[in-house]
Amino acid sequence: MAAAARIGIAGIGLTSPLGDDLEGNWQRLLAGQGAVTRMSFDGVADIAAAPVTTDVSQVLTRLQQVGTERVSQMALGAVRKAIADAGMAAWADPERVGLYLGTGMGGAATMDAGFAALYTGGRIPPLTVPAGMVNGASAVVAIHADIRGPVLTYASACASSSVAIAEAAHALARGEIDVAVCGGVEAPLARGTVAAWQALRTLAPPDAADVSRSCRPFAADRAGLVLGEGAAFFVLRREDDLAAAPRAWLAGSAVRCDALHLTNPQVRGQVSTLRAALRASGLAPADVGYCNAHGTATVAGDPVECEALREVWGEHATALHVSSTKAAHGHLLGAGGALEAALTVMALRARVVPPTLGVAAVDPRCAGLSHVLGEARHAPDLRHAVSNSFAFGGTNVALVFSGV
């Protein structure tokens, strides 16, 4: 096998706040129809959040649902769609198929409900451990998609699914597997988890005038992040194994760590990650025309990311189109990188840059880049794009994609 086998995206599947189909997500994003709404949880001030509104349990029969929860069901739904999108039904050799799944918090809602019952004099349900364990979704996907090679779970907070995609591509390139199913899932919209995020004082309040505009990345008046939930998965293959033209190529990736602070992002680590990803892709900054930013709309995070982009892109920074699609679908935490990667692939295919919704004026500290606000922008020369994921814990990931 050639050392530099290209890795193609054969299929994409979503369970997203913007809907369950890829094209629908894309159209809704371009139409400016965000999924952020007001949600209430007992004992917690109302939050703005982006929930998945379909009945995700339908992917399993009631008997099969035993020991599973929302996080597993959303993951399985997206994986099935990704496999179907790749035109694959049964595997030639299930042991040559690997699953690389990122999730920050796994079955947090199950643990939350179990502990709540226990602490209030009730009984903790017997399947709390298997449903709540962080690799529960991986196990459910493996069982129902018959994946018998490496089945691995990556937990690096908001970079989890991007790490999983990067690792899956390496495993393919090394020849360890022939098919990689990779991506991530998160289901954080449960009372205890929401309360914990709110206690950290990072959540944006529901916008009083228009709740769908609560998440405003890069805006001068940004107010914090908005939680989302969902799953996004890819089927990756080596170029020689592709049955048809891929949706895009995963040109390269890099994973680095700030190693400085639990939560505060750092320019140094982001710059190093972006440069390493460009090197791995054999591309110069000027080759990359779009950055789907991490852009969580926190006061601290957005200026750091913009400074890192300006430093790496240098004189080309003002030509780099930048947007954060989190304004539309919220922050899917461990699944965020995968959903944003999917939308980045759609941007390459359409040669259209999706906008950051809801932003009237960019914070001067986020300036010096070609921010795409409000309306999508045609980018006929767009050939390569990068998707950033910068996590609590300091793990930074940049995934670089190339059009077909």
In the bound state with another protein, the residue whose beta carbon lies nearer, of 122 and 175, is 122
21 phi and psi angles, rounded to 5 deg: -125, 145
In this structure, are residues 24 and 329 in contact, taking their beta carbons and an 8 Å threshold?
A: no
Instruction: CB nearer to another protein: give 129 or 276.
Output: 129
Rounded Cα distance between 300 and 66, Å, is 42
158 is catalytic: yes
User: Could you give the count of Cα atoms lying within 13 Å of 290 in the half-sphere of its Cβ?
Assistant: 35
Residue with the two structure tokens 């139409």: 31
Is 371 a known active-site residue?
A: no
Closer to another protein by Cβ: residue 87 or 126: 126
The whole-angstrom distance between residue 207's C-alpha and the CA centroid of its chain comes to 24
* Catalytic residue selected from 182, 321, 329, 331: 331
Residues 6+ apart with CB under 8 A from 394: 257, 258, 259, 260, 261, 262, 266, 269
Helix (H, G, I), strand (E, B) or coil at 347: helix
- Catalytic residue of the set 291, 294, 321, 329: 294
Contact 400, 277 (CB under 8 A): yes
Query: What span, in angstroms and rounded, lies between the C-alpha atoms of 139 and 137?
Result: 5
What is the rounded CA–CA span in Å between residue 235 and residue 83? 6
**Based on CB atoms, which residue is closest to another protein, 117 or 257?**
117
Residue 360: CB atoms within 10 A of its CB come to: 11
Nearest approach in angstroms of CB 123 to another protein is 7
Minimum Å distance from CB 116 to another protein? 16
Does residue 331 have an active-site annotation?
yes
- Catalytic residue (choose from 158, 291, 306, 366): 158
Least distance from another protein to the Cβ atom of residue 136, Å: 12
Binding residues for another protein, rule: CB under 8 A, are 61-63, 66-67, 121, 123, 125-127, 130
Q: How far is the CB of 118 from another protein (least distance, A)?
A: 13
In one-letter notation, the amino acid at residue 93 is D
**Closer residue to another protein in complex, CB, 39/143:** 143
- Nearer to another protein by Cβ, of 123 and 201: the residue is 123
Smallest distance, another protein to C-beta of residue 341, A: 34
Q: Residues with Cβ < 8 Å from 10, sequence gap 6 or more? A: 85, 86, 87, 88, 234, 235, 236, 237, 242, 243, 244, 246, 247
Six-digit token string for 330: 């919220």
Shortest Å distance, C-beta 20 to another protein: 23
Residues forming the active site: 158, 294, 331
